[in-house]
Amino acid sequence: MTNPEVVAPTIPDSDALHRRGLMFILSSPSGAGKTTVSRMLLQRDERLRMSVSVTTRSPRPGEVDGRDYHFTDHAGFERMVEDGEFLEWAHVFGHSYGTPKAEVKAGLREGNDYLFDIDWQGTQQLYQKMQSDVVRVFLLPPSIDELRRRLNARGTDSAEVIASRMERAKAEISHWDGYDYVIVNDDIDICFAKVSQILASERMRRMRQTGLIPFVRELTAPDS
């Protein structure tokens, strides 16, 4: 399945210097592959955690409450909105989706990275609130026909739901320029290798390496 030649080597994320975590956002039109890429990242990367969203939509076959989403009803969702428990929330495909705040805020300080499978509206909100922590990646399908083929092949949605996802796809694609990185997900292994490289590079940004300040101070101390 996975061709080892195109999978990026795992770059050790050293704990020697403290680093602030980052918020890694993966968006795409439905069916372009963000769930597939997210699962591959989470399987291979221990420092990456999924930000599990809250939603009012029903679970699909195979989805697990607390792992794929926190499933709730409208009243429960509204209560969380009123109590300020979301970093962002939006209406997508007639349902409500939101990113819980508590775990992410504390985890970033501890150096944990979070993966977000959210749409362009949520991406904009997170970017406005936490710009320096956010890395935005958008996946495109190689063609509209291939997108339709993948939605059909996934076998999780009725013909009616697939038609409505296809209808929304072009509107979602129109937000491609609100992202830092845009990748065409043609070959899954190549796409995964690219996403892994982005993550590795973004982790090395100076501003995230909070441990550099005392480290450099020590290096440049007058009596060292």
Ligand X SMILES: Nc1ncnc2c1ncn2[C@@H]1O[C@H](COP(=O)(O)OP(=O)(O)O)[C@@H](O)[C@H]1O
Ligand Y SMILES: Nc1nc2c(ncn2[C@@H]2O[C@H](COP(=O)(O)OP(=O)(O)O)[C@@H](O)[C@H]2O)c(=O)[nH]1
Of positions 20, 22, 25, 34, contacts ligand X by CB under 6 A? 34
Q: What is the DSSP letter of 176?
A: G
Exactly one of 18, 154, 168, 175 binds ligand X (CB under 6 A); that residue is 154
User: Which are the contacts of 196, defined by CB distance < 8 A and separation ≥ 6?
Assistant: 7, 8, 41, 44, 45
Residue 163 in the binding site for ligand X (CB under 6 A): no
Q: Is 28 in the site for ligand X (CB under 6 A)?
A: yes
The smaller minimum CB distance to ligand Y, of residues 114 and 192, is found at 114
Q: Which of 21, 25, 30, 51 binds ligand X (CB under 6 A)?
A: 30
Closest CB to ligand X among residues 28, 55: 28
Q: Which residues contact 50 (CB under 8 A, 6 or more apart)?
A: 38, 42, 114, 115, 117
Number of chain positions touching ligand X (CB under 6 A): 15
35 is in an annotated binding site: yes
33 binds ligand X (CB under 6 A): yes
Position closest to ligand Y via CB = 122
* Per CB under 6 A, 150 contacts ligand X: yes
Would you tell me which residues interact with ligand Y (CB under 6 A)? 27, 30, 35, 53, 57, 88, 90, 92-93, 97-99, 117-119, 121-122
193 binds ligand X (CB under 6 A): no
Q: Any binding-site annotation on 31?
A: yes
Phi, psi dihedral angles at 134 (to 5 degrees) = -95, 135
Q: State the minimum distance, in angstroms, from the CB of residue 80 to ligand X.
A: 24
Residue type, 194: K
- Which is nearest to 37 in space by CA: 139, 122, 132? 139
Question: What is the Cβ-side half-sphere exposure of residue 2, based on CA atoms within 13 angstroms?
Answer: 13
Angle at 182 between CA 132 and CA 160, to 5 degrees: 110
Residues 6+ apart with CB under 8 A from 84: 101
Q: Write out the DSSP string of 29-68.
A: STTSSHHHHHHHHHHH-TTEEE-PPEESSPPPTT--BTTT
What does 168 interact with, of ligand Y, ligand X, none (CB < 5 to 8 A by kind)?
none
Identify the CA nearest to 27 among candidates 121, 168, 102, 152. 121
For residue 101, the minimal CB distance to ligand Y (Å) is 11
Residues that bind ligand X (CB under 6 A): 28, 30-36, 150, 153-154, 185, 187-188, 191
Which parts are annotated binding residues for ATP?
A: 28-35
